Structure 1
């Protein structure tokens, strides 16, 4: 991993754990083992590095989701694969946690990849739901509800200190969908 990548990966981890304010350039340098001169050689400052880190986290989320969405099987099976994929539940979603960071949300450039990622995820789920459920439910209304369950599950699990809460939220949402799928015969 080159210097630039070490900085980005360190910023990603620290943003996930500490948020924007808690992620100082000094902390990034210490975590990455990279000096100040090298950091400012690659990035104009903390916002520039944070944007690179957020973009990489967003890209990784989309890639991991697409792996599940592209698995063989029915649309419902692919949605299930995405919802049941392995996650670090008690750390929360690396993108979702950024929505709770006032500094990220106040900066249009930092907020943009967060917003685009959730827009993409919601759209991708809506497409699969439309394929799975045809006219049974409004896919464009149901997809954001599913994303909300997933993100809310992280919050509830963190509050309870147990990943089981997230699992139950996912099981509940998939159980509701399974009922609709059974009615459709898919």
Structure 2
């Protein structure tokens, strides 16, 4: 891994652990094993490096979500696979956590990939749920857009509750609640 790559990966790790405010250039350099000159050779400063790291994290999150979304199965099976996939619940969502960082939210460039990723997730879930409704898997009364927003909000809230409790149990309960609500709108398979 070259120096620029180590700097980006170190920044990603620190942003997830400490947030933007708590991530200093010195901490990035120390974790990356790079000097100040190397950092400023590859990036104009912390904002550019953080933006690169946030964009990479956003891209990775989308790719991980797309795997179960584009897999075979019903819409509910694919949403279930996404919600039940392995994740480090107690660390929280690496994108969702950035919404709590005032410096990220105050900077339009840093905020953009955060908002775009959450918008993409809501949109992708809405499309998947609409597909399930069109294929007769889900009741016509299910609103894909509001249901997708509910799923994302519950998922992000589940991370917060789990972190506050120091246990994944509240997150798992939130996911079970979402799946229970979807089950209530699932139609029996036609023979």
Give the TM-score normalised by structure 1: 0.96
In the alignment, what sits opposite 1:46?
46
Q: Give the SS at the match of 2:186.
A: helix
What does residue 137 of structure 1 align with? 142
Mapping of 1:63-82 within 5 angstroms?
63-82=63-82
Kindly state the Cα deviation for residue 183 of structure 1 after the two structures are TM-superposed. 6.2
The whole-number CA distance in structure 2 between the counterparts of 1:184 and 1:160 is 39
What residue is the counterpart of 2:90 in the other structure?
90
For these two proteins, the number of residue pairs brought into alignment is: 186
Q: Specify the alignment match of 1:154 in structure 2.
A: 159
Report if the CA contact (8 A) 1:132-1:181 is conserved: no
Is residue 128 from structure 1 mapped to residue 128 from structure 2 by the alignment?
yes
Could you report, residue by residue, the CA deviation over 1:138-185 in whole angstroms, capped at 9, with x for unpaired residues?
111111110001000000000000011101100110111011013686
Alignment of 1:158-177 (within 5 A): 158-177=163-182
Structure 2 equivalent of residue 4 of structure 1 = 4
Q: Distance in 2 between matches of 1:81 and 1:160?
A: 24
1:44 aligned counterpart, secondary structure: coil
- The 1-side partners of 2:125 and 2:13 are apart by 27
The gaps in structure 1 that reach 5 residues or longer are none
Which TM-score applies when normalising by structure 2? 0.94
- The answer to whether the 8 A contact 1:133-1:180 is kept is no
Question: Counterparts of 2:95 and 2:25 in 1: how far apart (Å)?
Answer: 20
| Unmatched runs of 5 consecutive residues or more in structure 2 | 135-139
RMSD of the TM alignment (CA)?
1.4
Structure 2 equivalent of residue 178 of structure 1: 183
Structure with the larger helix share: 1
